Amino acid sequence: MASSMAAACAAAAASLSPPQSTAQRPGSQGRLLFPGAPASSRSLRLRTAGRRSPATRSLRRASKAVVAALADPLKVMISGAPASGKGTQCELIKAKYGLVHISAGDLLRAEIAAGSENGKQAKEYMEKGQLVPDEIVVNMVKERLLQPDAQENGWLLDGYPRSYSQAMALETLEIRPDTFILLDVPDELLVERVVGRRLDPVTGKIYHLKYSPPENEEIASRLTQRFDDTEEKVKLRLQTYYQNVESLLSTYDNVIVKVKGDVTVDEVFAEIDKQLSSILDKKTETVASA
């Protein structure tokens, strides 16, 4: 319960802040800290009599978000072509909403790094820009999704499902998202994004040599490149994406939100943030009126 409260409080606290690309991570151990507030106000005790100050109104909103987050945490899927910005946006969403980020690509790369049999098989497909077979991917993601932290804090599924069969595997378990965010970026920008992408193996942060360059020489010197980040491979990955995306759009058509992805990282996040806040508000109203 402590961890779910932490996530709920983090989400509530975060919902009071304006969007920012360097969104602060939620308080680590479940404390909702309002700047300048005495320790006694951390319990979100609210005064109801008389006219409410802006601070009190903020606290009430936070309190409602806590209730909603505890009752029914956010469930988000994010999709889009290779290098459309899913990972970049997930870092910001995770920081603001405290969701558990589950990236199918990252899980597969972890298997490769561990030298497991699944990893060896997965790499063969990833090198060809093809989908890794369901026998490997479906259970891997399902198991992560059913972990208590994801169930309590809410989840952010990145790059999964990617095919009709993967979507159906979730439907069978009655696992459905509140929203399916589709990042829309013209193909001609994707190649440039892929070849310029670099990763920091220490922090996991995603960089781009032109659009998000490393902050200093020390970081620059340790950046790595993914084995499938070449022009040739991204074209194959893109082909695979287009072969499968329609089936996803029809499965999730009642919750799809298309977000323009060819603007700055901050602008993309502002749009996603608006959508997620609105969903959280609706959940809060439902809980508050129940």
Q: Would you tell me which residues interact with ligand AP5 (CB under 6 A)?
A: 80, 82-88, 104-105, 108, 125-126, 129-132, 137, 159-160, 162, 166, 193, 196-197, 206-208, 211-212, 237, 264-265, 268
Tell me the residue number closest to ligand AP5, measured at CB: 105
Q: Least separation, in Å, of the C-beta of 48 and ligand AP5?
A: 43
Task: Reply yes or no on whether 162 is catalytic.
Answer: yes
CB nearer ligand AP5, residue 9 or residue 138 = 138
Handedness of CA 254, 259, 265, 271 (dihedral sign): negative
Of the chain, the end-to-end C-alpha distance in Å amounts to: 22
**Coil vs helix vs strand at 27:** coil
Task: Reply yes or no on whether 226 is catalytic.
Answer: yes
For residues 273 and 187, is the Cβ–Cβ distance under 8 A? no
- Residue tagged active-site, from 64, 193, 198, 237: 237
CB nearer ligand AP5, residue 46 or residue 263 = 263
Spatial neighbors of 203 by CB under 8 A, at least 6 apart, are: none
Q: Is 287 exposed, middle or buried (0-12, 13-18, 19+ CB in 10 A)?
A: middle
Task: Reply yes or no on whether 75 is catalytic.
Answer: no
Count helices and strands (H / E) in the chain: 12, 7
Q: Least separation, in Å, of the C-beta of 116 and ligand AP5?
A: 15
Task: Reply yes or no on whether 86 is catalytic.
Answer: yes
CB nearer ligand AP5, residue 152 or residue 229 = 229
Q: Least separation, in Å, of the C-beta of 262 and ligand AP5?
A: 7
Q: Least separation, in Å, of the C-beta of 176 and ligand AP5?
A: 17
Task: Show the beta-strand stretches assigned E in the chain.
Answer: 75-80, 100-103, 155-158, 179-184, 197-199, 206-208, 256-260
The DSSP symbol for 228 reads T
For residues 39 and 54, is the Cβ–Cβ distance under 8 A? no
Task: Reply yes or no on whether 123 is catalytic.
Answer: no
Place of tokens 């098989």: 121
Q: Are strands 197-199 and 206-208 parallel, antiparallel or unpaired?
A: antiparallel
Residue count of the chain, please give it. Answer: 290
Q: Quickly count: other Cβ atoms within 10 Å of residue 42's Cβ.
A: 14
- Residue tagged active-site, from 109, 162, 198, 283: 162
CB nearer ligand AP5, residue 158 or residue 178 = 158
CB nearer ligand AP5, residue 162 or residue 283 = 162
- Residue tagged active-site, from 197, 198, 233, 283: 197
CB nearer ligand AP5, residue 86 or residue 283 = 86
Q: Least separation, in Å, of the C-beta of 215 and ligand AP5?
A: 13
Q: Least separation, in Å, of the C-beta of 211 and ligand AP5?
A: 4
Residues carrying an active site annotation: 86, 162, 197, 226, 237
